[in-house]
Amino acid sequence: MITAWDKLPLTLGVKEVAEITGYGQARIRELCRAKRIPCIRLGRAFRIPRDSLRRWLEMEAEKGIEK
């Protein structure tokens, strides 16, 4: 469980993002490949910037509210 965003590392792995969002790791990778979630590709690995993830989650929440 996340208690404070500031305590998270600056970049997160797929597993960490999956735990935060409740999505599966495969879904997070799919979103990264489709460039639907902000990420950095390092070789075969994806890293998701903490602050970008937070903004993305807020934008996704707003989209859900507007529907």
In a domain, 32, yes or no: yes
In a domain, 3, yes or no: no
In a domain, 53, yes or no: yes
Number of separate domains in the chain: 1
Q: Round to whole Å and give the CA distance between 58 and 41.
A: 23
The stretch 57-66 carries a mean pLDDT of: 85
pLDDT digit string, tens, across residues 40-56: 999 999 999 999 999 99
Q: The CATH number of the domain where 59 resides is what?
A: 1.10.10
Q: Which domain holds residue 60?
A: 8-66
pTM of the model: 0.85
User: Would you place residue 8 in the very low, low, confident or very high pLDDT band (cuts 50, 70, 90)?
Assistant: very high
User: Following DSSP, what letter does each residue of the chain receive, concatenated?
Assistant: --S-GGGS-SEE-HHHHHHHH---HHHHHHHHHTT-S--EEETTEEEEEHHHHHHHHHHHHHHHHH-
